[in-house]
Structure 1
Amino acid sequence: MSDKRRDVVLDVNERPGFGQWVGLSIQHMFSMFGSTVLVPILVGLNPGIALFSSGVGTLMYILITKGKIPAYMGSSFSFIVPMIALMKTVGYPGIAQGTIAVGCVYLVVSLVVSMIGADWIDRLLPPVIVGPIIMVIGLSLAGTAAKDATINAAGHYDLKFFVVALLTLLVTIAFNMFMKGFLGLIPILLGIVVGYVIAVLFGIVDFTPVLHAHWLSLPAFQIPFVNYKPKLYWGAILSMAPIAFVTMTEHMGHIMVLNQLTERNFFKDPGLNHTLAGDGTASIIAGFVGGPPVTSYGENIGVLAITKVHSVYVLAGAALFAIIFGFIGKLSALIETIPKPVIGGISFLLFGVIASSGLRVLIDNRVDFDKKRNLMIASVILVIGIGNAYLQLGQYQFSGLAVAAVLGIILNLILPKEARSEREAQQKNEQTE
């Protein structure tokens, strides 16, 4: 594009050379792998199916958004609690219906947006809300990164873990700062590889799963009318579908970050209706093959921010690798052996970059924090969101991010532009002059 930013290595619609393409795509796959397979492991689903469905879902998302948004769809953590409960009671058929219902909610909202437009987003989400929300997305994950970097499988603090995490972080920063050429584009991948080697030297890598895994392994797909006879599970639908409104907030937060990184407005082009439809379609696909609901991933957005490579082709390549890895048992098992301190060390950087992007929104838009209105709105969003002051209504739980976003929007709508004391001070100044 003629207006391409000078600091961007590859813009959204630019295609890398084949060698770079492979390395950059694998880097993205590594970044999302841990979280994508962790969700099915916690719930009791097949990790290979989660990889497959995330890859197919991402390709569908890219297709529906007309190849304009570099985002990856991975397993969503927001549905873990109801999915665990459903697995114990009705099994995967119930989870499948809930997952499909989540996707349908997205499609319905997408249809509404396509009818009334998305201009209301700019009024509803000004920079004073967008910036803090983006910061919350990054900072609210700080505890997860710290836990991965310090707590071992027994649940105890482990200095060895922390050393591995810090060394992984430092080598990743070094690769990012001092490497040039192709190596300078894959600092996250290089950091994970070196971190993995360090973890092996520290004796915290278990190769047993790799030895026992088959080279080729067909994921245990769960397809209705093929693997099970479906029936209507209203409890599953009602327990999962409402949470879609929570993940929509996170979805829009991720789009805000991507808008900032790429200097585009994806809410207008290709449109919020397309982004929601893409996300919803990805979850419906997951429900029909045996995977959990999916959502856009902050980890991959962090990679985009660090590498300055925004190419949608790279994300599509990561999706293809995820599909392939879903069938290669040895490779899937090898990646699953990446220890948590390595992921934690990488996460220190990825999540921090996301938070810094939110700070940049406030700076670039010159949000004035001398105004009490802005100070109140940002303060509420940051503390409630980062502290995860969630709202529990019966069996439904709304994350601190969702609560913070809603309160921020409400405050933005009801608070006057100036506090009473500010108006009085301005009047006195005018009288003095």
Structure 2
Amino acid sequence: MKNQTHANGAILDVDEKPKLGEGIALSLQHMFAMFGSTVLVPILIGINPSIALMASGVGTLTHMLLTHFKIPAYLGSSFAFVATMQALMKADGYPAVAQGAIASGLVYVIVAFIISKFGSDWVNKVLPPIVVGPIVIVIGLSLASTAASDAMMNNNKYDLTYFAVAIFTLIMTLIFQMYFKGFPSLISIMLGLICGYLLSCVLGIVDFSTVEKAKWFSLPAFQVPFVTYKFKWYPEAILTMAPIAFVTMTEHMGHIMVLDSMTQRNFFKDPGLHRTMLGDGMSTIIAGFIGGPPTTSYGENIGVLAMTKVYSVWVLAGAAGFAIVFSFIGKISALIESIPMPVIGGISFLLFGTIASNGLMILVDNKIDFGEKRNMLIASVILVIGIGGAYLQIGSFQLTSVALSTILGMLMNWILPEKAASEK
């Protein structure tokens, strides 16, 4: 592995390829990072997890193709649609969910077309550092309660054994990160996860029953519209799920901001916000057509990028490839699925915190003056609403805390004067 010679501190920059052996390990590390959330969404909805794994891999590669392999992003199952999809599954089954997913993807495509015609210069005006920094902090810390719950709770009850496993996983990851040189430091997340898994085996909290039952090779249970089921329109599904795309768009832009900061690039301009939106939309459309849930860019994998300083898009492409292959290998998928939640929680303490720290870095690098009342007010509102979990609910439509805090931050930046009356 190369030394850090890049201006952005990267060990491998976006367009650089790792050696084969190192690349495999780094790609597996990314797959482990996204696996828990990607398969949890279909489990909550009642969809086959192998389909979601396939959708995430194909969707990520589609996104990369449409963005000319310039953005190191991984797309996995989106949690924003879970409540709506659960209701649709109970009422009408997967055909309704599929149409809703395809419709939400088409919203992305339409927005991408509009941006391609009118440009994205407005992004820097509506999302300056005083708005972007707190939003990135919110993206990381809004997931903090999920990490803590994974680390502590066993069937909604506090479990000291679980918490011990989570802390052990975290400590081992920190040891590999700080006290080892070279490649072990780069795959510290995967090594920490393996250590946590082994301890979980010793403590007897790993359930191997699904591994025993799983077949070595099995085709994912595709649910293809117009083929698997008789076609019927589900307008309520389309009208319910399509608007949620605007929520995930704000999260999408937030993740692009984080990647911009980390890699010292401007992905809004090159390859362009219209291409990133198109890639995200096409990924979700593909997921809908093969039977998976809508997809979105993953903060977990951005956390891995921040930790390792390996920004190579080829590493993430490898993770997508592994996801596709593993969707056909039942035993391996089941083995990864058997990773206990406290192990995931211990890793998440670090990954989500790293994302939040990048938000702080944006504020520091841009020398944001919190002595100015305007800056203090904007940051305060974004942080409390975003981290506090406040959301806007109108019927079945929900604006998440991340999206709500983003919108309010942009509005405050637009409305508030440069100086308060008391400062003039």
- Structure 1 length normalisation: TM-score? 0.96
1:293 lines up with 2:294 in the alignment: yes
Matches within 5 A, 1:40-51: 40-51=42-53
Matched residue, 1:417: 418
1:205 lines up with 2:206 in the alignment: yes
Query: Shift in Å at residue 395 of structure 1?
Result: 1.0
What is the aligned counterpart of 2:146 among 136, 144, 147?
144
Structure 2 CA distance, aligned partners of 1:182 and 1:400? 38
What letter matches 1:137 in structure 2?
I
Matched residue, 1:366: 367
Matched residue, 2:93: 91
Matches within 5 A, 1:225-374: 225-374=226-375
What letter matches 1:91 in structure 2?
G
Q: Deviations over 1:347-402 (max 9, x none)?
A: 00000000000000000000000000000000000000001110001110100111
Matched residue, 1:121: 123
Contact 2:8 2:262 in 1 (8 A): no
Structure 1 CA distance, aligned partners of 2:389 and 2:257? 20
What letter matches 2:183 in structure 1?
F
| Unaligned segments of structure 2, at least 5 residues | none
Matched residue, 2:76: 74
Matches within 5 A, 1:154-193: 155-193=156-194
Query: Shift in Å at residue 243 of structure 1?
Result: 0.4
Structure 1 CA distance, aligned partners of 2:394 and 2:9? 46
Query: Shift in Å at residue 230 of structure 1?
Result: 1.8
Structure 1 CA distance, aligned partners of 2:82 and 2:257? 25
Query: Shift in Å at residue 4 of structure 1?
Result: 2.9
Matched residue, 1:426: none
Q: Deviations over 1:220-253 (max 9, x none)?
A: 1001222112221100001100000000000000
Matched residue, 1:65: 67
Structure 2 CA distance, aligned partners of 1:163 and 1:103? 41
Structure 2 CA distance, aligned partners of 1:167 and 1:250? 31
Matched residue, 2:112: 110
Query: Shift in Å at residue 7 of structure 1?
Result: 2.4
DSSP 3-state at the match of 1:322: helix
Structure 1 CA distance, aligned partners of 2:6 and 2:342? 37
Contact 2:8 2:264 in 1 (8 A): no
Matched residue, 1:55: 57
Query: Shift in Å at residue 183 of structure 1?
Result: 1.4
Query: Shift in Å at residue 33 of structure 1?
Result: 0.2
Q: Deviations over 1:141-176 (max 9, x none)?
A: 0000000000002x1100111110000000001111
Matches within 5 A, 1:396-415: 396-415=397-416
Matched residue, 1:18: 20
Structure 1 CA distance, aligned partners of 2:398 and 2:218? 36
Q: Deviations over 1:108-137 (max 9, x none)?
A: 000010011000100000000000000000
| Unaligned segments of structure 1, at least 5 residues | 424-433
Contact 2:77 2:295 in 1 (8 A): yes
DSSP 3-state at the match of 2:364: helix
Alignment root-mean-square deviation, CA: 1.0
What letter matches 1:152 in structure 2?
N
1:217 lines up with 2:218 in the alignment: yes
Structure 2 CA distance, aligned partners of 1:7 and 1:268? 22
Structure 1 CA distance, aligned partners of 2:409 and 2:55? 34
DSSP 3-state at the match of 1:77: coil
What letter matches 1:101 in structure 2?
A
What is the aligned counterpart of 2:35 among 30, 33, 36?
33
What letter matches 2:85 in structure 1?
M
Structure 2 CA distance, aligned partners of 1:6 and 1:55? 28
What letter matches 2:13 in structure 1?
D
DSSP 3-state at the match of 2:81: helix
Matched residue, 1:430: none
Contact 2:72 2:313 in 1 (8 A): yes
What letter matches 2:263 in structure 1?
T
Q: Name which one, 1 or 2, has greater alpha-carbon Rg.
A: 1
Structure 2 CA distance, aligned partners of 1:77 and 1:170? 28
Structure 2 CA distance, aligned partners of 1:286 and 1:231? 19
What letter matches 2:132 in structure 1?
V
Query: Shift in Å at residue 5 of structure 1?
Result: 2.1
Query: Shift in Å at residue 203 of structure 1?
Result: 1.3
Contact 2:151 2:345 in 1 (8 A): yes
Query: Shift in Å at residue 202 of structure 1?
Result: 1.5
DSSP 3-state at the match of 1:74: strand
Query: Shift in Å at residue 6 of structure 1?
Result: 6.1
Structure 2 CA distance, aligned partners of 1:28 and 1:360? 23
Structure 2 CA distance, aligned partners of 1:64 and 1:242? 23
What letter matches 1:284 in structure 2?
I
Structure 2 CA distance, aligned partners of 1:356 and 1:377? 18
Query: Shift in Å at residue 179 of structure 1?
Result: 1.7
Structure 2 CA distance, aligned partners of 1:395 and 1:33? 28
Matched residue, 2:395: 394
Query: Shift in Å at residue 3 of structure 1?
Result: 8.8
What letter matches 1:23 in structure 2?
A
Matched residue, 1:431: none
What letter matches 1:312 in structure 2?
V
Query: Shift in Å at residue 182 of structure 1?
Result: 1.7
Query: Shift in Å at residue 181 of structure 1?
Result: 1.9
- Structure 2 length normalisation: TM-score? 0.98
DSSP 3-state at the match of 1:78: coil
